[in-house]
Amino acid sequence: MINGAIPLYPKRWTRHPTRQFYYATRREMLCKGPLGVRDQAMLPERSTNNITQQGDGRNPALVTILLDGYRYDYLEKAKELDLTGFGAILDNGVKADYLIPTYPTESYPNYYSLMTGLYCESHGMIGNYMYDEIHNTSFLIGTNPEQNASYFWDDGDPLWITAKRQGLKSVMHYWPGCEVEIRGLRPDYCAPYNGVPNKTMMEIAIDRTVEELSNGVAYAGIYYEASDKKGHIYGPDSPVILNVTREVDDLLLQLHNKLEDNNLIDSTNIMIFSDHGMVAIDPLQRVLNVSVNMENIERSFKSSIYSQIWPKENMTSKVYDELIALKDTLGHFNVYLKADLPERWHLKNHYRVAPIVLLPDEGYIIQLPDAKVNTNLGGHGYDNNVRDMRATFIISGPGVKKKSTHKAISAVELYQLMCHILNIDASPHNGTWANVKGMLTQASGAHTFLFCNTMTLTMIIWTTMEFLYHYL
C-alpha cells in the first residue's frame, strides 16, 4: 500500500465528472483512507460476494469473539487440556499461525484495526490514551466521557457500522466503542463495557447472541477481557493463563452447543481473535528511570511501554536532545520524533500522534517522573515485530476450510473477510484479499475471483484515465 495523503482531485478538475471518478478510483485503489461518506459516494459500485444460502434458506451469519491479550501460543501451552470447545471450532475451521497486531500494540488501536481493516494512521485510534489538538480533548480509557465523542471514531468504518448502513442487524456485548455513534450510526443493540465481564456475563452474552441470530441478526460481537487482565497481573507464563483458556473453552462449547440446538451451526461463521500478545516483564529489574525535565513538557501520557510526549512551544528539540542523552546513558529504549517513526508502523501520518514517542526494548519498562509505578508481570505495547506481541486468529463456518492451518496474517486483513462472509461491500481498507482467500473453500473463492476481475477492470479504467489526464 502507498502511504501519504492522496488528494481526491485537483481543484482545477473539480467540475469534471470523469476526472472526479478518476481521482476517487485512484484513492480507493491506493487505499490510503479514511474516505468520508461524501467521498465514498463517488466510488464505483463494488460487486457483491454472492455467498449462497444454506440448505435451510438462511444467509450465513457471523459471530466474532475478541479475546483481549490472548497470545498466539496460549492455546499450544494448553494442549494437555481437554479443550472440547476449541476442538469443535478447529474441526470446522482454520487457525492462522499467528496474527500480527498493528502498532502501537495496545488495545484500542488494534480493536479498531481489526474491525475497520485500517492502520492506525488511517483510523486515528493511535493509542489507549490520546490527545486531540483540534478539539483540545483527551481520550482516556475508562475515565472520561470525551472518549465517546464521535470525532475519535469517525475516521474508521467498523464492521457493525458498515453492516448497519447496508441493512444488516448487529448486536454487541461489552465491545469497546459499540455505544458510540459512528458516522451517524449505531449497532441495533449494545451492552456497553462496564468493567471486566465475568463468566456469568459472558454466558448471558452467548445466550442472547444465539437468540438474536435465530431472529435474523446477521452479526454479533462479544468481548472477553479476562485474558488481558490476568496476563498483566500474573504474567503470560503463569498457570492462571491455563485457567483462562479453560474458561474460554467452556464458553466456546456453550456457543457451539446452542447453535446446534437452534439449527444455526451450519449457517453461522465464528471468528476468534485477539488484539495483541503479552510479554513477561520484571517491574523491579528492568526499569528505565528516564528522568527528563518535565518543566519543558506541556503534556505526556506516561505509559511504561508506549510513552507519548508533547513538549512546550519551541521546546521539541531541547526535550528530544535530553531524551537522546538519557538513551545513550541508560540504553534499552528508543526516542522517535513523529516524522522519524518507522514507516512499517503506519502510524506517523495522523495528527493525534505526539511529537515525541518513547519505546523500550522487549521486557523493559520506562519510568517517567511522577508516573505511576508499574507492578504488572505482563505488558504489551512493544514493537509489533516482537514475537510475544503476536495474537491469535481462528475462523470456522460454512465456506471455510476444515481442520486447516494458514500462514500468519495482519490485523488489517480481517475486515475484508468479515464483509465477504456477510455479503456486504467493504469500505476502503488496507487489507489484501490474496492474504486471506486461502482460508476459504474453492466455492467461496469463486466469488473473490469475480471481485478480483472487477478490480482488474477498474485498473484498466484507471490507467486509461491516467493517460487522458497527462496528454489531453
Catalytic residues: 107
**What is the β-pairing status of strands 219-224 and 61-67?**
parallel
Helical H runs in 64-146? 74-77, 84-91, 107-116, 120-123
Angle between helices 414-422 and 107-116 (to 10 degrees): 40
Give, in order, the Cα–Cα distances in Å from 316 to each of 192, 297, 330, 341.
39, 9, 21, 15
Give, in order, the Cα–Cα distances in Å from 170 to each of 62, 64, 158, 199, 212.
10, 11, 12, 22, 9
Helical H runs in 341-425? 414-422
Residue with cell 486471506: 436
Give, in order, the Cα–Cα distances in Å from 111 to each of 55, 117, 342, 435, 446.
34, 10, 21, 20, 30
- Other CB atoms within a 10 A radius of the CB of residue 312 amount to 13
Cell of 222: 462479544
Angle at 50 between CA 157 and CA 169, to 5 degrees: 45
**What is the β-pairing status of strands 129-132 and 137-140?**
antiparallel
- The 3-state DSSP class for residue 289 equals strand
Give, in order, the Cα–Cα distances in Å from 12 to each of 9, 15, 25, 400, 469.
8, 8, 18, 48, 12
Laid out side by side, the sheet with 268-273 consists of 189-191, 170-173, 219-224, 61-67, 268-273, 393-396, 93-96, 404-406
Burial class (CB in 10 A: 0-12, 13-18, 19+), 226: buried
DSSP string covering 139-204: EETTT-GGGG-GGGTTTS--HHHHHHHTT--EEEES-TTTTS-BTTB--SEEE---S---HHHHHH
Angle at 138 between CA 132 and CA 139, to 5 degrees: 105
